[in-house]
Amino acid sequence: MKRRKRDATTITKFSHVEKTNNSDSKKNRKKYIYLTASFATLAAIIIYLFFLTQDLPSLTKLEQIDPALATHVYSQDGEIIKSFYTKNRSITPYEKFPEHLVQALLGTEDRKFFDHWGVDIQGIFRSIVMSIVKFEKAKGTSTLTMQLARNLNVGFGLERTWVRKIKEIFTSIQIERTYSKKEIIEMYLNINFFGSNSFGIQSAARNFFSKDVEELTVEESALLIGVLKGQSLYNPINNPERAFARRNVVLNSMLNVGYLTKTQYDTVINIPLNLDPAQDDDVIAPYFTEYIRKQLNQLQDSLGVNVYEDGLRVYTTLNTEIQKYMEQAVDSNIVKMENRARNQKALRKLKKEMSDSAFTEMTKLQIAFLCIEPENGHILAMIGGRDFNDSKWNRATQMKRQPGSAFKPFLYTAAIDNGYTPADEFYNQPVVFINPDSSRWTPKNYNEKVSGLLSLRVALRNSKNLISIRLIQEIGPRIVAQYAKRMGISTPIRPVPSLALGTSEVIPLDLVASYATFSNNGVYVKPISILRIEDKTGNVIYQQRSEHKEVLSKETAYIMTDMLQDVMKRGTGYPVRRDYKFYGPAGGKTGTTNEFTDAWFVGFTPHLVAGVWVGFDDPSLTLGSGMAGGVVALPFWGQFVKTVYDSLNFPPAEFKEAVNVLKIKICKETKKLPTPYCPKKIEELFNVKFKPTETCDVHVGPTQGSKTRRRRF
C-alpha cells in the first residue's frame, strides 16, 4: 500500500512537472512568435520605408536647389523693362525681407520653426490621435520645412496621406541638415506660388502692389502670406473680400504671438487692401523687348542657358526717357496724320466699297521709329508699329520699303567721295529713259518744276529728282549701290537709274544706322541692343561691343554732314526749325515714294540719329496727294528731338570738322576762285584734293572774258 501511495505521489509530482514544462513551452512559443512577428513587422516597416524613400531627392539635389527663375531685361538706366519666364519668379535675399513679413509667415504657418529640426513631433502625435478617433486624413502636421519640401516639386504628390507625410519628414530632416533656418525661410518665400502668375514673394509684391519686397507694409505682408492658404480662393484681385478676411486672420495670429501690439493691430486691421496691380499695358518698348527676346533665343544654345528659367540679367541699350519722348511724339501726331490720309480722295472712294470696320483696319496708319547713338551704335529707342498687341510685326527691324529721296545721301556721298564738289552744277531739266520693255520712263521733280543749272548742294537741299538722275548717270548705279552697302544697307540694291530716287527697299534700322556714318566721321557702327548678359549669380556670360568700320573718308563725311545740315536750315527739313523751334546742329533728309505710299524723315545731331517711316502696311494704299515725308514723317521727328534736347542735359556739341576740308570763297556764278570784279561771292566746302584752282574768267575787269563754267549735263 505504501508503495502504491508512493507511486501515486510520484505520478502526481511528475504530472505537475509535466504541466509546468508544457506551460513554459507555450510561453516560449508565444514569446518566439511575438518576437518573430515583431521582427517581421519591423523588417516590413524598414523595407517599406526603404522603398518609400527611394524616390526622395538626393543630397546633391537638395544642396543645389535651382527653381525656375525669370530672366529680367534692363534698360540703359537700370529699369526692368521686360521679364521672360515659364514661372515669373525672382530671388530676393533674406536680408531684404521686412521683419514683419517673416513674422507674418511664422506666426501663421510655423510658430515653433526655430525650435524644431524640421518635424513637429507633437503635431504628428496629435494628428495620429485625431485620425484614429475621428477617422480623419492626416493634417496639421506640416512644418514650414515640410511645406518647402513639398513645394520643391520632388514628386510627393498633393493628396493628404501618411505616405506623403513620411516622405516630407525625411526630406525635411535632410533640408534642415543642409540649410540654415534663414536660408529655409528665404527659399520658402522665393519658391512659393502666390497666385496671378506670381512665383516668389518679389513677383507677388510687384504684381499686387507694384513695389519691391522691402517696401511692403505690415498689412501688405499679411495679405501675401494669407494668400498661401489658397491662391485662388484668397486671390485679392478676384476675391477681395475673402482676401481681406484672410489677411486679418494673419494679423490676428501676429497679435497672438506677440509680433504686433494691440495698438498696432487696431491700426492696421481696418486698412483697405489698396491693391496696385501691375498692368500688362505698362510694358516699356514692347517692340524693342521682343527684338531682344529673339536675339536671346538665338544665343541660348551657344551660351548653354535657358532664357526662360535661368534667371539671366540682360542689360540693354534702351533709354527709357528717350523711349518715352518717342512714344509721346507718336501719340501726339499719329491720329491727326491718319485722319488726313483717310480723308483724301482715293481712300474716301475705298471706304464706299467696304464696311466701316474693314476700312478702319485696312487704313490703320503705321509707323516705324528708331533712335541710335551714333558713336557706339546703341539703339536708344524703338517703335515698330502702332500697337504691339494688335501687330507684333516689327516694322523698324523687319519691314522692307522703298526709301524714296531718303536714299539720295548715298548717291551724293558717292559723288563727293569721287571728286565731285558741292559747287558742281547740273541742269534741272527733264530726262527720258527707255526701259527694257520699250516703255518710257520720264522722272519728274516733286513739284514737277524745271529750271537751269543747280549746284549739288542746292539740288540735295531741295531734293531735285532730275539732278539726282543726271548724277547717277555719271557715277553709275553700281557704284552708288556699293556705297549704300558699305554704309550698312543689308537688303538687295538694284543698280538701275531709278536707284537715285530710292526704288530699292531698305530696312528702317539699316537706313537710320547708315546716316550715323555722316556725323561719326565716316565710321559706320553696327547697331546693337544688348550690352551684356549675366547669369543669376552675376557672372558675365556674354558681352557685345560695337563694331566700327571706316567706310568713308573724314573729308567726305564732313562735307556730306554740312550739305545735309543745309537741308535743315533752308531745305525740305526746314520745318524742324520753323515749326518745332529746334535750332541745334542737325542734318537730315526727307523721303517720299511714288504715289505718296511711303513717307520718311531721317536726321542726326552730334548726340543721336533718328528716323521715321509712316505709311500703310498695304503698299498699294496711298497716303494721299501732298502727303510727303516733310509733311507726314517730319513732325514726329521734330517733336521728338525737340523734347529730348529740352529734357535731357546733353553737353553742347558741334559736328567734328575734317582737317583737309577747306572753306573757300568762290564766284557764285562761275564756281571758280573769285577775282576782285566778281559781283557775288559765296563760301563752299572743298576736299583739299579737289579744291578749285582756276580763277574766274568771266569777271576779269572792264573787258569780260569768255563765259566758261563747270557744269554737268
3-state secondary structure 59-80: HHHHHCCCCCECEEEECCCCCE
List, for residues 34-81, the tens digit of each pLDDT value. 666 666 666 655 555 555 555 555 555 555 667 889 999 999 999 999
- Cell, residue 665: 570763297
pLDDT at 100: 97
DSSP symbol at 514 = H
Question: How many angstroms separate the CA atoms of 396 and 383, rounded?
Answer: 7
HSE, side-chain direction, 13 A CA sphere, residue 386 = 16
- What pLDDT sits at residue 438? 82
Determine contact, residues 404/675, Cβ cutoff 8 Å.
no
Residue owning grid cell 515640410: 146
Which sign, positive or negative, has the C-alpha torsion 69, 71, 75, 76?
Answer: positive
Which cell is 136 given? 480623419
Q: What pLDDT is attached to residue 178?
A: 87
Could you give the C-alpha distances from 410 to 405, 605, 689, in angstroms and in order?
10, 18, 21
pLDDT of residue 555: 98
Question: How many Å apart are CA 339 and CA 322, to the nearest integer?
Answer: 27
Domain covering 404-504: architecture = 3-Layer(aba) Sandwich (3.40)
The predicted-structure confidence for 636-654, as pLDDT tens digits, reads as follows 999 999 999 999 999 999 9
Domain residue extents for the chain: 2-52, 88-282, 404-504, 661-712
Per the CB < 8 A criterion, the answer to whether 210 and 202 are in contact is no
Interatomic CA distance for residues 335 and 426, integer angstroms: 41
Query: Residue 145 — left, alpha, or beta (φ > 0 → left; ψ -120 to 50 → alpha)?
Result: alpha
Q: Do the bridges between strand 540-543 and strand 433-434 make them parallel or antiparallel, or are there none, so unpaired?
A: unpaired
Element (H, E) at 495: none
pLDDT for the residue 150: 81
Nearest to residue 191, comparing CAs of 311, 60, 358? 311
Burial 208-238 (b: 16+ CB within 10 A, else e): bbeeebeebbbbbbbbbbbbbeeeeebbbee
User: CATH number of the domain at 88-282, please?
Assistant: 1.10.3810.10
Whole-structure pTM value:
0.84
Name the β-bridge partners of 676: none
pLDDT for residue 119: 82
From residue 464, alpha-carbon distances to 249, 421, 586, 635 in Å are 78, 17, 21, 22
All residue ranges of the chain with pLDDT < 50 are 1-5, 138, 155-157, 705-709
C-alpha distance across the termini of the chain, in Å = 169
Closest listed residue to residue 490, CA positions, set 470, 474, 475, 504: 504
Give residue 491's pLDDT.
98
Please state whether beta strands 71-74 and 313-316 pair in parallel, antiparallel, or not at all (unpaired). Answer: parallel
Query: What's residue 163's pLDDT?
Result: 62
